[in-house]
Amino acid sequence: MWVYEKKLQYPVRVREANPRLAKYIITQYGGPDGELAASLRYLSQRFHMPTRETVAILNDIGTEELAHLEIVGTLVYKLTKDASIEEIKESDFGAYYADHDKAVYPVSAAGVPFTAAYLQSKGDPVTDLQEDMAAEEKARSTYEWLINLSDDPDVTDVLRFLRQREIVHFQRFGEALDLVQEHMNSKHFY
């Protein structure tokens, strides 16, 4: 189970309304390499991990991804809440606004709704951990591109924090993969 804490993992500041930037950042909420896909992937895969360490790392990184989902949702909320209809019409955000107003909804930057097809849970721990390492790298790249698109230094600061977490998660999954391979290559006497 989970318990909610009334705080963010990292403070989210934005300089001013910026619906254009929100339209890009929403992709880390419900896009192919976003935080929702990440949390569902790890929290689903954890049931079939063969060692105690790897169950723990998937459980705990999957949980941290939910905190990141909240950070990304907060970015979108803060970037749009004071945006005027004129600002929305002038930005890329108009197409999103037509379907969702300023509500936070899991879609990619191009407007494709979230789908479970973004993730796998294969039952083979080596396969799953390889996917997880690739997923962290894809998310890191996405944060790089979002940093390139950002014109708000406060938003860039949050994106840098999230990018750094992907690097740490990649490292931990690499260690988990080593542990699983060691486990599979060892002789099992009972």
Partner 1 sequence: MHEEQLRLLKEIMAVDFSLVELNLFLDTHPCDQRALMDFNNLCCQSKALRRQYEQCYGPLMACSDAPPRIPWGWVETPWPWQIDYGRS
Contacting residues toward partner 1, per CB under 8 A = 3-13, 52-53, 56-57, 60-61, 64, 67, 70, 73-74, 77-78, 154, 157, 168-169, 172, 175-176, 179
**Those residues with Cβ within 8 angstroms of residue 113's Cβ, 6 or more apart along the chain or in another chain:** 30, 105, 106, 107
Q: 117 or 185, CB closer to partner 1?
A: 185
Least separation in angstroms between residue 4's CB and partner 1 is 7
**Ramachandran bin of 68, using left for φ above 0, alpha for ψ from -120 to 50, beta for the remaining angles:** alpha
Least separation in angstroms between residue 54's CB and partner 1 is 8
Q: 60 or 90, CB closer to partner 1?
A: 60
Q: Which residue carries 């930005």 as its tokens?
A: 91
43 to 77, 127, 184: CA distances (angstroms): 26, 15, 22
Q: Which residue carries 């994106």 as its tokens?
A: 159
Q: 21 or 32, CB closer to partner 1?
A: 21
Nearest to 81 by CA among 65, 93, 67, 90: 93
Least separation in angstroms between residue 90's CB and partner 1 is 25
Q: 47 or 90, CB closer to partner 1?
A: 47
